[in-house]
């Protein structure tokens, strides 16, 4: 189990003075990354093999959005690990210990050079301590794209600021992109994202928004229909 502490400042806030969706993802992502960087088993393995954990899916249940100046504690832990995938819970708590955000994330072991998934050994798995999963509703990792005409379709630009050290769009920036297509994005109580193929600088990306009973689904795809990422908002 791993924990970070920080205050919420203007760089993470949205229009109404509370943390925006990508700010939440940044907190989850940074704490998870620090956990892996400092992990006594997985950190040496990643360095020796030239591999990474590629995020495949995330579910974020928002109980309360922290506001400007609040001190928050983000806790993360692995609850399941197999030869190809790892799954973690992450919890964001307020200063008084109240739950702000509950999250689930899944990732695949990936070779950096070939960009192909790899299998890890059973011996390595046995060395990684797993904890009990958090109590929360866990939806399927895959998001079903509605079989209907989208309410909105538009081309979206990929900016230099969207690209991270792995030369593709950072997973938090996907929320910045899809938030533009949903006026009520800041009221979402649940976010789900399914990451399929990394978007890189220069890719031509189209966004399809499908309205749902409780929010919307935004699918980012190529002109030919190849899906890069799907994000679901639930109000």
* 83 and 194 belong to one structural domain: no
Structure confidence at residue 35 as a pLDDT band (50, 70, 90): very high
Mean pLDDT of the chain: 95
**By three-state DSSP, how is residue 179 classified?**
helix
* 51 and 166 belong to one structural domain: no
* Alpha-carbon span 225 to 217, nearest angstrom: 16
Name the domain count of the chain: 2
What average pLDDT does the segment 82-108 reach?
A: 97
What average pLDDT does the segment 20-43 reach?
A: 96
Which of 94, 127, 160 is where one domain is finished?
127
User: What's the confidence (pLDDT) of residue 112?
Assistant: 85
User: What's the confidence (pLDDT) of residue 78?
Assistant: 97
* 183 and 109 belong to one structural domain: no
* 86 and 13 belong to one structural domain: yes
Is residue 90 within 8 Å of 80, Cβ to Cβ?
Answer: no
User: What's the confidence (pLDDT) of residue 166?
Assistant: 84
Domain holding 213, by residue range, is 152-234
* 13 and 100 belong to one structural domain: yes
Task: Please tell me the total number of residues recorded for the chain in this structure.
Answer: 235
Report the share of the chain in percent with pLDDT over 90: 94
Whether the CA torsion 14, 16, 17, 21 is positive or negative: it is negative
CATH code for the domain of 81 = 3.10.129.10
* 17 and 119 belong to one structural domain: yes
Within-domain flag for 208 = yes
* Alpha-carbon span 16 to 157, nearest angstrom: 25
* 100 and 156 belong to one structural domain: no
* 114 and 8 belong to one structural domain: yes
| pLDDT at residue 15 greater than cutoff 90 | no
Q: Which two structure tokens, joined as six digits, stand for 190? A: 């649940």
Looking at residue 29, the DSSP 8-state letter turns out to be H
What average pLDDT does the segment 5-9 reach?
A: 95
Burial class (CB in 10 A: 0-12, 13-18, 19+), 14: middle
- Radius of gyration (Cα) for the chain, nearest Å? 18
User: What's the confidence (pLDDT) of residue 176?
Assistant: 96
User: What's the confidence (pLDDT) of residue 154?
Assistant: 97
* 63 and 166 belong to one structural domain: no
Residue-wise pLDDT for 156-199, tens only, equals 999 999 999 888 999 999 999 999 999 999 999 999 999 999 99
* Alpha-carbon span 208 to 204, nearest angstrom: 14
* 12 and 82 belong to one structural domain: yes
* 170 and 217 belong to one structural domain: yes
Within-domain flag for 134 = no
Within-domain flag for 113 = yes
- Other Cβ atoms less than 10 A from the Cβ of 16: the count is 10
Longest CA–CA separation in the chain, Å: 50
Tokens 């992502």, located at residue: 29
Sheet with 51-62, strands from edge to edge, namely: 2-7, 71-81, 85-93, 99-111, 51-62, 190-195, 227-234, 215-221, 205-212, 152-156
What average pLDDT does the segment 205-209 reach?
A: 98
């Amino acid at each position: 189990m791993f924990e970070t502490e920080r205050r919420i400042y203007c760089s993470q806030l949205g229009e109404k003075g509370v943390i925006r969706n990508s700010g939440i993802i940044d907190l989850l992502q940074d704490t998870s990354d620090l956990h892996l960087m400092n992990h006594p088993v997985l950190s040496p393995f990643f360095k020796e093999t030239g591999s990474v954990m590629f995020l495949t899916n995330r579910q974020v249940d928002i109980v309360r959005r922290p506001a400007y100046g609040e001190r928050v504690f983000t806790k993360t832990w692995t609850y399941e690990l197999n030869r190809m995938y790892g799954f973690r819970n992450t919890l964001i708590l307020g200063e008084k210990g109240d739950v702000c955000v509950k999250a689930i994330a899944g990732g695949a072991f990936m070779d950096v050079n070939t960009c192909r998934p790899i299998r890890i050994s059973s011996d390595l798995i046995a060395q990684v301590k797993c904890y009990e999963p958090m109590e929360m509703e866990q939806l399927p990792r895959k998001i079903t794209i509605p079989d209907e005409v989208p309410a909105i379709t538009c081309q979206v630009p990929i900016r230099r600021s969207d690209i991270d050290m792995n030369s593709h769009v950072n997973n938090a920036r996907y929320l910045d992109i899809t938030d533009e297509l949903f006026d009520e994005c800041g009221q979402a109580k649940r976010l789900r994202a399914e990451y399929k193929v990394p978007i890189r600088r220069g890719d031509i990306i189209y966004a399809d928004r499908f309205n749902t009973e409780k929010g919307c689904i935004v699918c980012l795809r190529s002109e030919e229909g190849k899906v890069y990422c799907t994000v679901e908002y639930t109000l």
